[in-house]
Homo-oligomer: A and B are copies of this chain.
Amino acid sequence: MSDAVAEALLARKDEILERLMALLRLPSVSTDPAYASGMKATREFLMARMTEGGVQDVRLLDGGGQPAITGVWNGAPGKPTLLIYGHYDVQPPDPLELWKTPPFEPTIRDGKLYARGASDVKGSTLIAVETVIEFIKAGGCPVNIRFFLEGEEEIGSPSLGAIIDRYPDALVGDAMISADGGRASTTLPTISVGSRGLTALRFTVRTASKDMHSGRYGGSVRNANHELARLIASLHDEDGRIIVPGYMEAMAPITAREAEDAAALPVDEAEFYDGVGAAPYGDARFSIRERITLLPTIEVNGMWGGYIGTGSKTVLPCEAHAKLTMRLGPDMDPVRAQALVRDHLLAKAAKGTTLSFEESGNGTPAFTLREGHPLLAAAETVIRRTRNRAPVRARAGGTIPITAIFKERLGLDTITFGFAMPDEDVHAPNEFFRLSSLEEGLRAWPLLLSELGTVTPETLARG
């Protein structure tokens, strides 16, 4: 039956594309309160479609922030229950001036659909929703389904814990399929077996109690911009190696299997760097693939201090700010990673200056799906059928916090089965999603649900 469902989905792929474009027109930026109405419209759009398509008990799960959307289909007694994860929020679109077409006016050029959220991750989320709807239309799903479409993925899922606490019944299942977490190659078939962790650190440097005139104080008072620059410069050596004491040592050494998997998916260096207009960079003891999927990072996502408006201002600023996030390798503890960076900054801070750290959550450890897991086996079977070869096992450089949190809080394993590709400029201007990926997703998702229908709930839950 899964083949028939896939055929039916492909037969109405233009309609699904129209629906995706409508979804992309709704600006669901979770980090910025200015987009509250876009968030609401996006929820309403998805809930209406799910309800219309036969998904039952469609409702919001409110943890105090942006609510998540749930909905169930329970018509397969004795079969496993799969949670399906996606998220309806997107990253901020700025810098707006660098978009060729507006971020919330989806535009097709050369087989690519350009819009904020097209690749991350409204495209893959809609594939999952439409697959379930098509199964229901055809008489029923091969597994029981429980949707969990989050509204805070792009801001680190701050109220996910509260949702889990408040709605324990809404999140019961045997395993999870995530529509988030894309593919690692534009050419080779891949399957994701893990992802880096993520944690954040935001801080302010103060060198004086007030801003000063650079003529009156320049030369005798420490400039907060200089001090922040010095602190940031102390995190890496000139080759990009992290030199925070204990930080690199906090990750588990790369295993032989991890090295082998990484080598099976070599990164074309020229293509990688040409694609973003950058020069080679990073710790040369490791391959690019290892660097972007296994090694931890410390990135200053934002920094600012002093006068940044139009024109000049001869101010000697007393404070400067930085927003850091750290990607974490296997086995790194997020809170410990934060503490290592914080302690390093405090140790490096000049006498008489103060650092204040903003509360920014605990973060998420790296996630790894063990070899031989039934989720992995099912996904590999599907990919062998749709791509005619076994997939390469790839780790994602990004972070799918949900996988670690659901593992930790609910004991659920996750297979990531999203159809984004690595060059689609997510979190950046001109994000796009390939129309061919939409088609591929609509072909593969019915097969995956069918494969998982052949596993007993117990086997799947055991992992």
Q: Which residues of A contact B (CB under 8 A)?
A: 30-33, 91-92, 94-95, 98, 154-156, 195-196, 198, 200, 202, 207-223, 225-226, 228-233, 235-236, 238, 240, 272-273, 276-283, 288, 291-292, 295-297, 299-318, 320-323, 325, 327, 350-353, 360, 396-399, 422, 425-430
Contacting pair A221 B281 (CB below 8 A) = yes
Of chain B, the residue at the smallest CB distance from A290 is: B219
Q: Given A214-B327, A279-B351, check contact A299 B94 (CB 8 Å).
A: no
The answer to whether A276 touches B312 (Cβ under 8 A) is no
Which residues from chain B contact A195 at a C-beta distance below 8 Å? 215
Q: Which 5 A-B pairs have the closest CB atoms?
A: A279-B352, A209-B277, A215-B398, A31-B311, A229-B232
Candidates B200, B305, B352, B422; contact of A303 at CB < 8 Å: B305
Cross-chain contact of A229 among B92, B233, B327 (Cβ < 8 A): B233
Report how far A441 CA is from B209 CA in the complex, Å. 30
CA distance A207 to B30 in the complex (A): 28
Task: Return the contact of A220 from the options B272, B303, B352 (Cβ within 8 A).
Answer: B272
Contact of A316 among B94, B214, B291, B299 (CB under 8 A): B299
Establish whether residues B156 and A312, one from each chain, have CB atoms under 8 Å apart when the complex forms.
Answer: yes
Residue contact B219 to A297, C-beta cutoff 8 Å: yes
**CB within 8 Å for A314 and B428 given contacts A230-B233, A320-B303:** no
| Contacts A225-B300, A301-B307; A292 near B220 (Cβ below 8 A) | yes
Bound Cα distance A399, B312 (Å): 14
Q: Given contacts A215-B196, A278-B221, A428-B210, are A232 and B240 in contact (CB under 8 A)? A: no
Cα distance, A228 to B226, chains bound together (Å) = 11
| A232 and B222 contacting across the interface, CB-CB below 8 Å | no
Known: A208-B276, A312-B323. 10 other contacts (CB 8 A): A198-B215, A208-B278, A210-B428, A214-B297, A215-B397, A215-B399, A217-B397, A218-B299, A301-B314, A303-B304
A281 contacts B427, C-beta separation under 8 Å: no
Q: Is the CB of A304 within 8 A of B301?
A: no
Asked whether, in the complex, the Cβ of A426 is within 8 Å of the Cβ of B352, the reply is no
List, sorted by A's number, 7 A–B pairs whose CB atoms are closer than 8 Å: A211-B429, A213-B398, A217-B397, A220-B291, A226-B233, A276-B318, A278-B352
Q: Is the pair A218, B281 in contact by a Cβ cutoff of 8 Å?
A: no
Taking A225-B232, A236-B226 as contacts, is the C-beta distance between A218 and B429 under 8 angstroms?
no
Cβ contact of A304, chosen from B226, B281, B282, B308, cutoff 8 A: B308
Specify how many copies of this chain sit in the oligomer.
2
Contacts of A198 in B (CB 8 A): 215, 314
A17 to B230, CA, bound (A): 46
Q: Chain B contacts of A238 at CB under 8 A?
A: 230, 350
A156 CB contacts on chain B under 8 angstroms: 312
Residues of chain B contacted by A399 (CB below 8 angstroms)? 215
Given the known interface contacts A278-B221, A279-B351, the answer about A306 and B302 at a Cβ–Cβ threshold of 8 Å is yes
In the complex, the answer to whether A276 meets B209 with C-beta atoms within 8 Å is: yes
Residues of B within 8 A of A315 (CB): 91, 301-302, 427-428
Contacts A278-B209, A303-B305, A323-B307 known; A426 to B317 CB distance under 8 Å?
A: no
A232–B350 Cα distance when bound, in Å, is 16
Among A213, A214, A273, A296, max chain B CB count under 10 A is at A214
Decide: B219 and A295 in contact? CB cutoff 8 A.
Answer: yes
State in angstroms the CA–CA spacing of A32 and B232 once bound together.
Answer: 31
Min CB gap A278→B, angstroms: 4
A155-B310 Cα distance, complex, nearest whole Å:
10
Q: Can you name the residue of chain B whose Cβ is closest to the Cβ of A427?
A: B213
Q: Could you say which of A220, A313, A323 has the most chain B C-beta atoms within 10 Å of its C-beta?
A: A220
Closest to A234 in B: B233
Task: Given A306-B302, A350-B238, check contact A396 B215 (CB 8 Å).
Answer: yes
Chain B nearest CB from A277 CB (Å) reads 3
Q: In the complex the two chains form, is A312's CB within 8 Å of B200's CB?
A: yes
CB pair B425 A303 closer than 8 Å: no
Of all chain B residues, which has the CB nearest A321? B308
- Asked if B219 contacts A307 (CB within 8 A), the reply is no
Expressed in whole angstroms, the minimum distance between the Cβ of A153 and any Cβ of chain B is 11
Q: In chain B, what residue has the closest Cβ to A209?
A: B277
- Chain B residues with CB under 8 A of A317: 301-302
The reply to whether B327 and A217 form a contact with Cβ atoms under 8 Å apart is no
A306 near B303 with CB under 8 A, answer yes
In the bound complex, residues from chain B placing their C-beta under 8 Å from that of A278 are 207-209, 221-222, 318, 352
